[in-house]
Structure 1
Amino acid sequence: MGLQLVAVGLLVLTALASLSEAQHQQHGDQNIPWGKPGQTDQTEQTKQGKQLQWRFPALIIVDPPPGVTVDIVIPPPPDSINVRCEEQKVLVEVDMDFFGTGRMINPELLSLGGCPVSMVDNNAKMLFLESDLHGCGSMSHTTDDELIYALTLLYSPPTEGGTGIVRESPAVVGIECHYPRIHQTMVGPLIPLWTPYSAKRAREEYFLFFMFLMMDDLVTVRETTDFKLGEMIYIQATVLQFYHVPLRVYVDNCVAKPYNEEGSDSSVSYAFIDNHGCMKDAQVTGSSSRFLKRNRDDTISIMLEAFRFADSDQISITCTLKATPVSRPPDSAHKACSYLPGSGWAILEGSDSQCRCCDSTCSGDEGGSDDGKQQGPVSEPGDMWSEATIGPIRVNKKRRN
């Protein structure tokens, strides 16, 4: 029984295989090609027993009429913006015919990084805008070779009269200024073409003049103002400067007066320096008073032998101090001359011949004249002067041993 069933199954399978082969021979191979559309001219599909065909459409080419040449021309953008990058700011010129259509733009609608138009030239139909390199929304960045500042020129037209339509397009134009980070110059000194800052600052700068009582080392400020007759009083005058060119200070004149609780008595005085820097105390009294060698151009030191007035043991000293550029050589109005007993006049720096006028009158011209003593400071270009006072200084009658 089992063998009979197996035999029947084999007969059924054989019949089905014969039927499938017959159908395959009837219809043939209908495999659909899967290549690219450009590689075949026809694609066949089978649907419900009908064969469909599809082709790519042919390219339609229209030839121009005989004797006519067609050239496609792209119009260049209108040259309506000029930019000039300066050392500290950016200047932008914009043609009012911004789009090259003959329609003038409204200056109020144009801005440079939010900054409005600075000037309108209706005759030339030009708009002018400017900005500092760090202003008007400027942004900066650096490369290996350049420092770049970037700004934005913006044109924002509104709608026409609330109609919701516009007849101009908004425009955003990027503007950049490139500055080289490395400059090469020729070997040798460079002479500036601009006015030096110190020359400008000199016209507006304040100068501070001071006088101090010093110890004999000319370094330490003396704390006491008490002296004895014959003791040396060391006075140091200096000028405090800031941005100015280097200065040399002179003592134009010094006057001592008696001092009491009400102040200085102007009825009695003794000028131990006058005539623009002539220290005559040694010539008049035979003392050892003189100018001392400088350590700095902006400082000058005096060694004055202590004295007192007959009716007062306190004195005050007022000096006129004058400062002039170091580049100016000493002359008869800019000098520090001391009288050395047995030798005569000697200058602190320069030529002793500039002290010859100390016995007459000293002026800006070397040698001076003989018509009386010069009073007050000489005001010459480049000179700065002021008065300074120290005191009261008490001088005891007991002489120094």
Structure 2
Amino acid sequence: MAFSWYCVLLLCLGARAANAVFLAEMKLDCRPDYMALVWSDSRSQADTSLFRLGSCAPTSSTSREVVFSVGLTDCNFRKLVTGNELTYSNELIYTPSLDSYVLPFTLPVVCSYERPNDWHPVIVDPVFDTYGVENLVFHMELMNADFSGPAESTSFRLGSMIPIMASVEQRSHQPLLLLLEECVAATTEDLEPGTDFHSIIANKGCLVDSKSTRSRFEPRQKLSELQLSLQAFKFALGQEVYIHCSLVAWDPNGLDDSKKACQYVKGHGWELLDDDSYNHLCNCCEYTCKSRKARSLEPGTNGLMKKAVLGPLTITV
């Protein structure tokens, strides 16, 4: 892993009273698993105890110098992988007291490394604390081929199957059915207006990808789990891909055309995963399934929805 000594940033900062300008020096030492930052100015009137690196207070400070020595997994560092580069970014923030003559300021702090050959991205495992009769915890993760454990790789060949399992920990709550209401694949961890995406599940629980691929829901092992075998697609081939899903914990006896798990079976049409005697709930998958008002999981209601993001993963030829 490459690392280097990044230095000297010249900062032009004004003082409210005399409109003075001073030069400050910031030295950044990026190491494999931690970084050291030193900000100093011999003429500054800044209170060095008020500096923050992300969420971290200084490791040490004097009247003219502030030092941070922190791990790259601390202080709310953001990690970004692009191609062969691994980048950790944060901000050095100065927030003065109300009676100070020094203006507040924010400076970018970036450590860039070569992406190690044996480095694999961490699978996002979203955990949500929710408020109902008891707290619920949602999970979504990549699995191995038989769903017996976590995936050993986040790289999949085009046309192979990507095993995904979503679940909800019920604890002492009444039995709940786990559903996936919507899922899309995108190249970004955050969905923004105009983002290109590949639709996987849409229309309130319809596995639309199953109409043209071998994607399918696997038979349920538990009400609180849903296993999806997703055929690796051409969308964003060779790029990092994130799977965005809406997870729903629902009353098993409260299925309707807006709360269901439907898939297209060649030669049979749309079928309901949990009870084929109610396949008619999937009829709207070809049209528009009615939307119901979201309800929170409290006494007398049926379920709760949470957003989850899985990735990044890559699809290769």
Match of 1:360 among 280, 287, 290: 287
Q: Match for 1:355: what amino acid?
A: C
Give the drift of 1:325: 2.6
CA deviation profile, 1:118-155 (whole Å, cap 9, x unmatched):
xxxxxxxxxxxxxxxxxxxxxxxxxxxxxxxxxxxxxx
1:277 aligns with 2:200: no
Q: Indicate the structure with greater helix content.
A: 1
Aligned residues: 180
Shift of 1:324: 1.4
* Normalised TM-score (structure 2): 0.53
CA gap of 1:247–1:297, structure 2 versus 1, over 3 A, is same
Structure 2 contact 133–173 (Cα < 8 Å) conserved: no
Structure 2 gaps of 5+ residues are 1-129
Tell me how far 1:312 sits from its aligned partner: 5.1
Q: Whole-Å Cα distance in 2 between the matches of residues 235 and 273 of structure 1? A: 13
What is the CA-CA distance between 1:264 and the residue it aligns to? 5.1
* Alignment partners' CA distance in 2, 1:216 and 1:295: 15
2:307 alignment partner AA: E
The match for 2:249 is: 323
Post-superposition Cα deviations, 1:176-232, rounded to whole Å, max 9, x if no partner, equal xxxxxxxxxxxxxxxxxxxxxxxxx97352211110111121111112101000010
**Which residue does the alignment assign to 1:395?**
315
Paired residue type of 1:318: H
Secondary structure class of the residue paired with 1:242: coil
* Structure (1 or 2) with the larger CA radius of gyration: 1
Contact 2:217 2:273 in 1 (8 A): yes
User: Among 218, 221, 228, which residue is 2:147 paired with?
Assistant: 218
- SS, match of residue 288 in structure 2: coil
Distance in 2, matches of 1:377 and 1:292, equals 28
CA–CA separation in structure 1 for the residues paired with 2:227 and 2:132: 28
1:392 positional shift: 0.5
Q: Structure 2 CA distance, aligned partners of 1:324 and 1:248?
A: 5
Instruction: Report the counterpart of residue 17 of structure 2 in structure 1.
Output: none
SS at 1:249 equivalent: strand
Residue 239 of structure 1 corresponds to: 168
Question: Match of 1:353, SS?
Answer: helix
Higher RCO (CA < 8 A, seq sep 6+)? 2
- Distance in 2 between the 1:300 and 1:395 partners? 22
Question: What percentage of residue pairs aligned between the two structures are identical?
Answer: 32
Q: Which residue of 1 aligns with 2:159?
A: 230
The structure that is strand-richer by fraction is: 2
Output the CA distance in 2 between the equivalents of 1:377 and 1:236. Answer: 26
Shift in CA distance, 230/390, structure 1 to aligned 2, threshold 3 Å: same
Distance 1:207 1:341, change over 3 A: same
Can you give the 5+ residue segments of structure 1 that lack an aligned partner in the other structure?
Answer: 1-200, 364-373
Counterparts in 2 of 1:348 and 1:377: CA distance versus 1, 3 Å = farther
Displacement, 1:289? 0.6
Give the equivalent residue in structure 2 for 1:294.
220
Q: 8 Å contact 2:205–2:261 — kept in the other structure? A: yes
Q: CA RMSD in A?
A: 2.3
2:134 to 205, 228, 240: 205
Deviations 1:95-136 (A, max 9, x none): xxxxxxxxxxxxxxxxxxxxxxxxxxxxxxxxxxxxxxxxxx
CA distance in 2, matches of 1:310, 1:203: 39
Distance change >3 Å, CA 299–CA 265, structure 1 → 2: closer
Q: For residues 156 and 142 of structure 2, what CA distance do their matches in structure 1 show? A: 11
**What do residues 28-86 of structure 1 show as CA deviations (whole Å, max 9, x unaligned)?**
xxxxxxxxxxxxxxxxxxxxxxxxxxxxxxxxxxxxxxxxxxxxxxxxxxxxxxxxxxx
Offset at residue 352 of structure 1 (A): 0.9
8 Å contact 2:182–2:245 — kept in the other structure?
Answer: yes
Paired position in structure 1 for 2:260? 335
CA contact (8 A) 1:320 1:377 kept: no
Say whether the 8 Å CA contact 1:258–1:309 is kept in structure 2.
Answer: no
Aligned runs of 1:17-56 on 2, under 5 Å?
Answer: none
